[in-house]
Amino acid sequence: MVKEIIQYPTPLSVKYATDVRIFDEELFSLIDDLKDTIKENNLDGLAAFQIGNYFNVIVVKDDNGELIEMINPRLIAHSDKVTTEEKTAYYPNHSAKIQRYNKISVVYQDRNGKDCSMQATGKMAIVIQRKIDYTFGATFIQKMSKEEKEKFEAQLEGGIDVGYDEYCPTTFKRDYVLKGINIALIVMLLPVIASFFVDNTQLLEKMWNYQLYGSFVVMGMTIGYFFYGQYEGKIYTSCTSCQIGNIIGTCVIALIKLTLIMIASYFFINPS
Amino acid sequence: MARLVVLGGGVAGHTTATFAAKWLGSQHEVVVVTPNAKWNWIPSNIWVGVGQMTKEEVTFDLAPVYAKAGITYHQAKAVSINPEGKEDSDKPFVTIEYTSADKAGQTETIEYDYLVNATGPKLNFGATPGLGEGSQLGEHTVSVCTADHAVHASEKLQEAIEKMKAGTRQKFLIGTGHGMCTCQGAAFEYIFNIEHELKKAGVREMADIKWISNESFLGDFGMGGLHMKVGGYVVSSKLFAESLFAERDVEWMIGAHVSKVDAGKIEYELLDGTTGEEEFDFAMLIPPFAGVGLKAYNKAGEDITDTVFAPNGFMKVDANYNAGAYENWKASDWPRTYQNPTYKNMFAAGIAFAPPHIISKPMSSPNGTPINPTPPRTGMPSGIIGKAVAHSVCDLMTKGEDAKLHEASMAEMGAACVASAGKGIFNGTAAAMTVYPVVPDFEKYPGTGRDTDYTFGEIGLAGHWIKHILHHLFIYKAKLNPGWTLIPE
C-alpha cells in the first residue's frame, strides 16, 4: 500500500527507530508499503521512519533499479570522503551540501533475518547513509556543517524546529529573578565604595541599615529563585537535569557575592 | 557471630563490605579478600593515561580504611570455593593465596557463612595474540585498565608526542582489542583525551587518530546505544558520537574484531567478513573480560565449577540463562537479587555476576566470529548492586534465612555516566549522560526500551567539572570519610 510520506513542516511522527527483533507478517507488510511508496513517488530509497513507522528498516534502489530490503542496517566501514548536493523526501523542494563517504560497507538482515553485507559506492552509498541516519532519528540536517545548516534553515519558512511542541528554552523566567538579584547586589556594592568618602557616623549608620535590609531582600530573592527554578524545571522536562545543578550553583554564587559585600560592609560601613 | 566474606575490593566489593560492616557493627565479622593493596578509582585512570593525574591521585591504601571500618582484610586472591565444606565439616570455605610481599604465595582457607563474589574481571589480554599492556603480556599495545597500566600508557604517549615534535608523524589507534569486549566508554574517553592533549601540545596536525571497536554503530557503548533528550530533541547516541568524531577529526572503523597484534600493526575481521590490517605507532586497545578463574568443589572434593560459574567464568545468579534468541530477550531475564541459585548463601556483585545475555543486538561475521559488545556492569550499577547485596546479606544474618532479599535489577535501574573528552579547568569537555533503564525493557517502553524522559545527555565544560567533582567525591566516600553513606553510588 502506498503510504503518505511525511514532509516538512509536519514533524516526523516518531522520534527514533528501533531494531526489528521479530520477523513476521507485520514486517513484510511494512517492507511492501515502503516499496509501493518508492515506486509511486519514483524515489531512490525510503526509511520506515519516513512513513511514520519506528522500525529500523530501509529500502533502497540499487544501480540496476532493483529494490534492496535492509533490516537493522549498520554502516561499519567507510572511505573516500565527498561532499554531495542532496535532496530528501522530507524536504522535497530543498537541497543541501552534506559530507558523506563515497565507499561504504554495510551489514544488515534480510526479511528472513539472515545476516547480509554489502559494499556500496557512489549514489547508492550516499542514499544508504542518508536512510540509515533516518533510522537513528535524524534528517540530513544533523549531518550539515554549521554554515550549511544556517543557510538551509533560512530557506525554511518555519525554521528547523517547527512542530516540536516540547523544547528547551534558551531563557527561562527565573533568569529575570537572577537579573534582579544581580542588580540588587550592584546597588549594595555602591554604599561600600561610597563609605570610603563618608565620615559622618549617622550617615554610615543609615547606610549599614540599608545594607542589612538589602541583604534580606537578596536572600529572599535567592530563595524565591531557587524554588521558582525548581518549579520551572518541572515544566520543561525536556531540558536536562543540569538545570538542578545550575540552579543550586547560581544560588551559591549569589550568596557568596552577598556574603563578600556584607563582610566588606561590616568592616567599612558599620560604625559600631 | 556469623562471618561474611567478600571476594574483591573494587567498586562492588568495597561497597558491599563497607556497608555491611557499618550495618552489622561488631555483632558479625566482615572479611575482605582482594589481591590489591590499593583501591583504585578506575574512571580517572583515563587522566593518568594522558599524564594529567598521578597514580597516587587515583589510588589509596586499603589497609587503614578497612582497619577503621572494623573489616578483616587479607591481601590475597581467591583460588577456590567449597560451598559445601569438606568431608569432616559442613562449613563452607574459600581458599585464598596471599599476594602481599610478606606472605606471597602462602595459601589459607577462610570459612564463611555468607559469601559475596565481587572479584571483577580478569583482563583477558590472552584472547587476542599480541594484545597487552606493554609488558610480557603484549609489548605492542598499552592499556588504561589499571593505574599502573595507565602510567605506562602515559609514558608511551609522551614518547609519541616527542617524536611528533621532532617531525615524525604518528598514528594513534584506540578502541577495543577483541570482538567480545566491553568498556567501549573507557576507550571513547581515552581517544578524546589523547586528541585534547595532542592539541595542547601543539602536535595535533602531526597525528592521525583512529577509533576501532566491536560496536555495530558508533555510540552503542554495549547498551545497544541510547536515545537521549538533548535540548528537547531526541538524539541517538550514534549521531551524538558521529558528530563528536567529525568535529575532532577522528576516523573510525566499527564492527571490528582484532584478531592479532604485531609490532605496529593489527589484523582485524569486520562484521561483513572482510579482513584487513591497520598500522599504528601508538595503540590502546581494551581487552575482553573474563571471570577470574575461581574453581568450585563439592563436599567430596569434586569439581563443580560448571554448576557455580557460567562458561565465561562469571558466577551464576538469579538470571534467566535460557532466554534463547534475541527476539525472546526480556527485561525479566536480568537478575534481581544476585543470589546463586544453587548455594543460597552466595551472591555475586558487579562484573563478577554472569549476565543472562548481552544488551546490544547480537552480531557475528559470515565466518561465525561473534563481534558485539558485552554488557557493561561497571560504575554506578556495580555500586548499586553491591549495596543491595550488602542489604540482603545483612538481613539474612540479622533477621534469619527467611529475610526478604533486596533487589537491584539492571532493567529497572538508571545509571549516570560522565565521559571525559579532555581535561582542563577552562577548556575541558565531558559528555554527561543518564540512561533509564540500563537494560532496555521493550515491554514497558515499546520502541527503544527506554524512557526518554530520563535518558538525556549534554556535552560541555560543565560535564568536565562534574567528572572532576565526582573523582574527589567517590574517593572521599571510598575512604569512609565523615558523611560517606550520604553520597550515592
Nearest residue in A to B371, CA atom = A76
What's the confidence (pLDDT) of residue B295?
A: 96
Residue B116, H or E segment = strand B114-117
Contact residues, chain B, for A48 at CB < 8 Å: none
pLDDT of B262 higher than 80: yes
Residue B276, H or E segment = strand B275-279
Residue B76 binned pLDDT confidence (cut-offs 50, 70, 90): very high
Tell how far CA B393 is from the center of its chain: 23
Residue whose grid cell is 575532532: B248
Q: Are B227 and B234 in contact (CB under 8 A)?
A: yes
What percent of chain B shows pLDDT beyond 90?
A: 79
What's the confidence (pLDDT) of residue A237?
A: 59
- The ipTM assigned to this model is 0.82
Cβ distance B449 to A54 less than 8 Å, yes or no, reads no
Nearest chain B CA: its distance from A167 CA (Å): 4
Nearest chain A CA: its distance from B204 CA (Å): 20
- DSSP-derived pairing of the beta strands B265-270 and B275-279: antiparallel
What's the confidence (pLDDT) of residue B387?
A: 96
Nearest residue in A to B247, CA atom = A145
CB pairs under 8 A between A and B: 109
In this structure, how many other beta carbons lie within 10 angstroms of the beta carbon of residue B206? 18
What's the confidence (pLDDT) of residue A231?
A: 83
Residue A168 binned pLDDT confidence (cut-offs 50, 70, 90): low
What are the DSSP calls for B194-239, one per residue? Answer: HHHHHHHTT-GGGEEEEEE-S-SSTT-TTTT--EEEETTEEEEHHH
What percent of chain A shows pLDDT beyond 90?
A: 49
What's the confidence (pLDDT) of residue A94?
A: 86
pLDDT of A230 higher than 50: yes
Contact residues, chain B, for A74 at CB < 8 Å: 216-217, 254-255, 271, 363
Give me the CATH code for the A25-155 domain, please: 3.90.45.10
Q: Are A229 and A174 in contact (CB under 8 A)?
A: yes
Distances (CA, A) of B50 to B56, B67, B81, B175, B395: 15, 33, 39, 15, 44
Would you call B330 an interface residue with chain A, using a CB distance cutoff of 8 Å? no
pTM of the full structure: 0.83
pLDDT of B78 higher than 50: yes
If you compute the radius of gyration of chain A from its CA atoms, what whole number of angstroms results? 30
Best mutation target among B212, B236, B454 (most A Cβ atoms within 10 Å) is B236
Nearest residue in A to B448, CA atom = A18
pLDDT tens-place string over residues B284-314: 999 999 999 999 999 999 999 999 999 999 9
pLDDT of A200 higher than 60: yes
Nearest chain B CA: its distance from A151 CA (Å): 19
Q: How far, in Å, CA of B348 to CA of B456, rounded?
A: 30
**E-strand stretches of chain A:** 45-47, 57-61, 67-88, 91-109, 115-121
pLDDT of B488 higher than 90: no
Q: Are B281 and B162 in contact (CB under 8 A)?
A: no
Best mutation target among B257, B269, B271 (most A Cβ atoms within 10 Å) is B271
What's the confidence (pLDDT) of residue A149?
A: 85
pLDDT of B137 higher than 80: no
Helix, strand or coil, per DSSP, at residue B100: coil
Q: How far, in Å, CA of B93 to CA of B261, rounded?
A: 41
Determine the average pLDDT of the residues in B40-49: 96
Determine the average pLDDT of the residues in A224-253: 77
Residue B425 binned pLDDT confidence (cut-offs 50, 70, 90): confident
Determine the average pLDDT of the residues in A19-48: 93
Residue A165 binned pLDDT confidence (cut-offs 50, 70, 90): very low
User: What are the boundaries of each domain within chain B?
Assistant: 3-123+289-399
pLDDT tens-place string over residues B168-216: 999 999 999 999 998 899 999 999 999 999 999 999 999 999 999 999 9
Q: Are A33 and A41 in contact (CB under 8 A)?
A: no
pLDDT tens-place string over residues B8-19: 999 999 999 999
Nearest chain A CA: its distance from B218 CA (Å): 9
The C-alpha cell of B34 is what?
582482594
What's the confidence (pLDDT) of residue B343?
A: 97
Distances (CA, A) of B69 to B46, B63, B168: 29, 10, 53
What's the confidence (pLDDT) of residue A254?
A: 92
Cβ distance A240 to B458 less than 8 Å, yes or no, reads yes
Nearest chain B CA: its distance from A36 CA (Å): 25
Residue A162 binned pLDDT confidence (cut-offs 50, 70, 90): low
pLDDT of A152 higher than 60: yes
Nearest residue in B to A170, CA atom = B231
* Mean residue pLDDT across chain B: 93
Cβ distance B432 to A242 less than 8 Å, yes or no, reads yes
The C-alpha cell of A235 is what?
515544566
pLDDT tens-place string over residues B308-363: 999 999 999 999 999 999 989 999 999 999 999 999 999 999 999 999 999 999 99
Residue B76, H or E segment = strand B72-82
Nearest residue in A to B460, CA atom = A242
Class of domain B3-123+289-399: alpha beta
Determine the average pLDDT of the residues in B227-253: 81
Determine the average pLDDT of the residues in B70-94: 95
Cβ distance B217 to A75 less than 8 Å, yes or no, reads yes
- DSSP-derived pairing of the beta strands A67-88 and A91-109: antiparallel
Would you call B212 an interface residue with chain A, using a CB distance cutoff of 8 Å? no
Cβ distance B271 to A19 less than 8 Å, yes or no, reads no
What's the confidence (pLDDT) of residue B458?
A: 75
